[in-house]
Amino acid sequence: MPGPRLPSVSLVVLNWNGKAHLEPCLQSLLDLDYDPRRLEVILCDNGSSDRSADYVRTRFPQVKLITLDHNHGFAEGNDLAAAQASGEWIGFLNNDMWVEREWLKNLVAALDDHPRATCLASRIKNWDGSSLDFIGGGVNYQGHGFQVDHGEGSSRRDIERRVLFACGGAMLIRRAVFAEVGGFDPDYFAYFEDVDLGWRLNLLGREVWYTPRATVFHRHHGTAGSLAAHKLRVLYERNALYTIYKCFDDRNLARVLPTALLLLNERALRLAQHNPGEFRIQTAALADSPVHGMRQTLLRRAGRVFRDEGPGAALIKAVKFARWSAKSAIAIASLTIAGRLRPDLAPQFLDDHVLWPNITASHFEAVSEFAHALDQLNTKRGWLQQRRQVTDRDLVPLFEDPFFANYADERYLGFYQWITRVQDLHDAFSLRSD
């Protein structure tokens, strides 16, 4: 007897300057044990400059090629590709992945047991299969997503279950549903767009399921590793704010948003190794100058790194700080040469200015971008809240760990625990039932 009818599937691989990754990825998709009449493989090139599109035309002529004029980011790039897909279901895969021959058959087989599922999350392992990359994710109340047991060899949670979201690097979603909910939010550009999509799906009463039946293998951050850390941090922090603003109900948003902003500010100051004593009148006499205060802070930090992480880590971080300090000195010299700062005022300039690394400034840039996006965020929030089918309380179990702290600094963790208690957030996001 013939087996059950396989749904038609369009597999979308988004590529940006990832030519080096395309051979194993595309070849494994073309080798899938799946009816070729019901399978469409799409490579969407996101404005690459490494001749990726030419390579695909020549090496993989059977792959449907979509070329975009510039880098639209992960979210919009995939949306544009999905608009040209023909399958009943759309699969999204990172370009730095390869799949097993039975991967797609095993993935769609989960629909037999979970017919209400409109989105499926695949298991992801590292490139050689020795550790777990994604077996389901969670999100904290600030909107920061995380991967459950990432890097472990195995996990008791590697079981089929409902989840809040599927990793955008290896997922399958019904094409009509993807279009109905607006796809990935193009304003995210990249990062947490999959958290946002899954959260919206769940709010609208759709089911997202993780299955370990199907595995893909991932060369982690194969292309994103070339991007500056402070630019990526803007996306992480801003997009998390976007998500909680759209998804929480009015009561929870009123408590969560100010807390998230205060925690974001605290992370920025801790990353800068900020010395609050330099800004307090009653303690100003304890330091000869801001430079002295900074020196003492750095010495304490260096000693802690040396003790906790060893001399190698201390050396690496010292080199990074030296590069940052050199850039600051060059900036001051440039102001002087340009006539915007008198040489005799340079010491006063140092006393009157705080020198912070880009990674700190990225947090404040994220808040600014969030503020400037409020018009469109209000429109999106209104659309979603009017159509929601479930309560925030219903989804709390899918958060996995609503109080997950995404920055492991001792002073920050103390502040995190304190402000969570002060804002009474344990009541809103406790995993206990009412």
What is the domain partition of the chain in residue ranges? 9-226, 273-355
Looking at every residue in the chain, the average pLDDT score rounds to 87
Is the CA virtual torsion 100, 104, 110, 114 positive or negative?
positive
* Residue 331 pLDDT class (50, 70, 90 cuts): low
Across 218-229, average pLDDT = 73
Q: In 25-179, where do the E strands start and end?
A: 39-45, 64-67, 89-94, 97-99, 117-126, 132-134, 137-139, 145-147, 161-162, 170-174
Distance separating alpha carbons of residues 173 and 62, to the nearest angstrom: 23
* pLDDT tens, position by position, 366-399: 999 999 999 999 999 999 999 999 999 999 999 9
* pLDDT tens, position by position, 262-301: 999 999 999 888 778 778 886 544 444 444 444 444 445 5
151: left (phi over 0), alpha (psi -120 to 50) or beta: left
* Residue 207 pLDDT class (50, 70, 90 cuts): very high
Model pTM score: 0.85
Architecture, CATH, for domain 9-226: Alpha-Beta Complex (3.90)
Distance separating alpha carbons of residues 172 and 221, to the nearest angstrom: 21
Distance separating alpha carbons of residues 358 and 342, to the nearest angstrom: 25
* pLDDT tens, position by position, 407-430: 888 999 999 999 999 999 998 898
Distance separating alpha carbons of residues 266 and 289, to the nearest angstrom: 23
Distance separating alpha carbons of residues 173 and 156, to the nearest angstrom: 26
Distance separating alpha carbons of residues 334 and 330, to the nearest angstrom: 6
Is it the case that residue 45 has pLDDT exceeding 60? yes
Distance separating alpha carbons of residues 116 and 207, to the nearest angstrom: 6
**What does the pLDDT read at residue 272?**
86
B/e letters for 305-338, b = 16+ CB within 10 Å, e = fewer, are: bbeeeeeeebeeeeeeeeeeeeeeeeeeeeebee
Distance separating alpha carbons of residues 118 and 140, to the nearest angstrom: 24
* Residue 221 pLDDT class (50, 70, 90 cuts): low
Name every residue whose Cβ is closer than 8 Å to that of residue 56 and which is 6 or more positions away in sequence.
22, 26, 43, 45, 63, 65
Q: In the chain, count H helices and then E strands.
A: 16, 12
**Backbone phi and psi for residue 164, each to the nearest 5 degrees, phi listed first:** -75, -40
DSSP assignment of 241-284: HHHHHHHS-HHHHHHHHHHHHHHHHHHHHHHTT--GGGG-GGGG
* pLDDT tens, position by position, 150-206: 999 999 999 999 999 999 999 999 999 999 999 999 999 999 999 999 999 999 999
What is the 8-class DSSP label of residue 432?
S
Across 25-54, average pLDDT = 97
Across 20-32, average pLDDT = 97
